[in-house]
Structure 1
Amino acid sequence: MGSQKRIAKELAELTESPPEGITVRLADESNLYNWHVYMEGPENSPYHKGTFLVNLNLPTNYPFKPPTVSFGTKIYHPNVTNDEKGSMCLGMLRPDEWKPSSKIVAVLQFARQLLAEPMPDDAVEGRIAEQYRTDRKRYEEVAREWTRKHATGKKA
């Protein structure tokens, strides 16, 4: 099964030499398709000093279909839904933009980069995107507050 081989290889690479600020584990040792990613908020972002649980689910026909990425930790961000699903809007994960040559490491680096540089024009939370555009100071205050409240020091 090519899909499992590729996933196992990418998981091994990510575990052995993880990108900065990112730690990856299987959510359940017996399931290669469901990962827990611990993402540190980048410096110079309101998420700095926070550690966020990101759930990465791979379809059985990966890499031909993109993974889904969602935040297990509540986050105040224009590109992440403000509900218990925590769905993240990433252009590269749209079925029409996904390329089988894309790697999970690129997805995770892009997701972390989005914490440092939100994309308000591609927002799933319009109100937060509007605030980001018009009142950056208040947006950063609320994002920092949520980070303190929901994302401090929980590494499983």
Structure 2
Amino acid sequence: MTMKRIASELANIQRDDVETGLTRSIDVQDSLHWVAHIRGPEGSVYAQETCIINIAFSENYPRDSPRLTFTTPLFHPNVSAVGNLRLAEFDQSQWSPAITIRTILISLQAMLSDPNLLEGCILNEEAAALYLRNPEDFKKRAGQWMELHSD
């Protein structure tokens, strides 16, 4: 079931790619490891930038959530210095096999526009504090971070 589901999701993403503008591409390293290139959402500090995300599927996918990490360094409250991210959808207690990779990538774009600042969701305290204290300075710092680390 895992390989059939993964192949189906890849086909759906590739078919919708141009229409949605969600991804630039999905590189399939092997059947259980993808590299996604998502565009920063319009109106956000990450707009016009491409973020690279590693997606690791377990042998139990879709029963178990995939592991996702940003390889593009981001200054963001929900992304750690090593690229770990925190979304409720990835928590095993919240995970549903009905969630697709396309849905997850859309959730990541939403997270880039609107960080989740609830307790337990923050992985970068400095970014969260700046976002709350001075949103304009946060945007400036996040933009500088993207310029420094973009291709």
TM-score, structure 2 normalization: 0.92
Following superposition, the deviation at residue 26 of structure 1 comes to 3.0
Mark the runs of 5 or more structure 2 residues left unpaired by the alignment: none
Q: Tell me the equivalent position of 2:99.
A: 102
Distance in 2, Cα, partners of 1:66 & 1:23: 23
Q: Which moved more, 1:116-125 or 1:86-95?
A: 116-125
Q: Tell me the equivalent position of 2:37.
A: 38
Secondary structure of the structure 2 residue equivalent to 1:17: helix
Instruction: Select which of 89, 93, 106 maps to 1:92.
Output: 89
Following superposition, the deviation at residue 23 of structure 1 comes to 3.1
Q: Does the aligned pair in 1 maintain the 2:116–2:122 contact within 8 Å? A: yes
Distance in 1, Cα, partners of 2:12 & 2:40: 22
Q: Does the aligned pair in 2 maintain the 1:120–1:132 contact within 8 Å? A: no
Secondary structure of the structure 2 residue equivalent to 1:130: helix
Q: Tell me the equivalent position of 2:62.
A: 63
Q: Percent identity?
A: 26
Distance in 1, Cα, partners of 2:15 & 2:24: 10
Mark the runs of 5 or more structure 1 residues left unpaired by the alignment: none
Following superposition, the deviation at residue 43 of structure 1 comes to 1.3
Q: Does the aligned pair in 2 maintain the 1:79–1:89 contact within 8 Å? A: yes
1:50-100 deviation per Cα after TM superposition (whole angstroms, max 9, x unaligned): 1111111111100000011110111100000013xx011111010000001
Q: Does the aligned pair in 2 maintain the 1:41–1:49 contact within 8 Å? A: yes
Following superposition, the deviation at residue 20 of structure 1 comes to 2.4
Secondary structure of the structure 1 residue equivalent to 2:32: strand
Distance in 2, Cα, partners of 1:22 & 1:75: 17
Runs of 4+ in structure 1 displaced over 4 angstroms?
none
Matched residues, number: 147
Q: Which moved more, 1:17-26 or 1:62-71?
A: 17-26
Following superposition, the deviation at residue 22 of structure 1 comes to 1.4
